[in-house]
Amino acid sequence: MIGRLNHVAIAVKDLAKASAVYKNALGAKVGPALAQPEHGVTVVFIELPNTKIELLEPLGEGSPIAKFLEKSPDGGIHHVCYEVDDIIAARDQLKSQGARVLGDGTPKIGAHGKPVLFLHPKDFCGTLVELEQV
Ligand code: CO
């Protein structure tokens, strides 16, 4: 069902500092910071030859990554995103196998303007999984 790895998301406290690490130390192509108030994060996309890295910094009160950074103050891998052809079909198949979809199960428009869903880490090897319809 799943296709390509679309991105790995890394939560950080300081987006400018994290961007500099990827740009200067690792020599990556680092994009501009994009505020996404509806998701409670500011995002920087890093283009790699075969996938993307998404740096996430908390934005505003009650950011969904604030708790994560309390536990991991140095930052850390927050989720992985896999591509699917049909997000509704993928959701229904996963639910029929007992997997938990976060929220009300309705896809939201994600950081790339495409429908996304998140799956409970307890059902996927302790890793928060994002599905993105491409
Ligand atoms: Co993501």
| Residue 47 annotated as catalytic | no
81 CA distance to ligand 1 middle (Å): 6
98 CA distance to ligand 1 middle (Å): 23
pLDDT one-digit tens code per residue, 30-86: 999 999 998 899 999 999 999 999 999 999 988 999 999 999 999 999 999 999 999
119 CA distance to ligand 1 middle (Å): 12
Q: For 78-102, what is the mean pLDDT?
A: 97
Identified catalytic residue from 54, 57, 83, 130: 130
8 Å CB contact between 79 and 132: no
16 CA distance to ligand 1 middle (Å): 19
Bridge partners of 57, per DSSP, are 42
Please state the pTM of the whole predicted model.
Answer: 0.93
Find how far residue 69's CA is from the centre of its chain. Answer: 14
Six token digits for residue 49: 């030859």
Domains identified in the chain and CATH numbers: 5-133 (3.10.180.10)
Q: Where are the beta strands (DSSP E) in 37-110?
A: 41-47, 52-58, 76-84, 108-109
pLDDT confidence band for 132 (50 / 70 / 90) = very high
8 Å CB contact between 79 and 129: yes
Tell me which residue of 23, 14, 22 sits closest to 42, measured CA to CA.
14
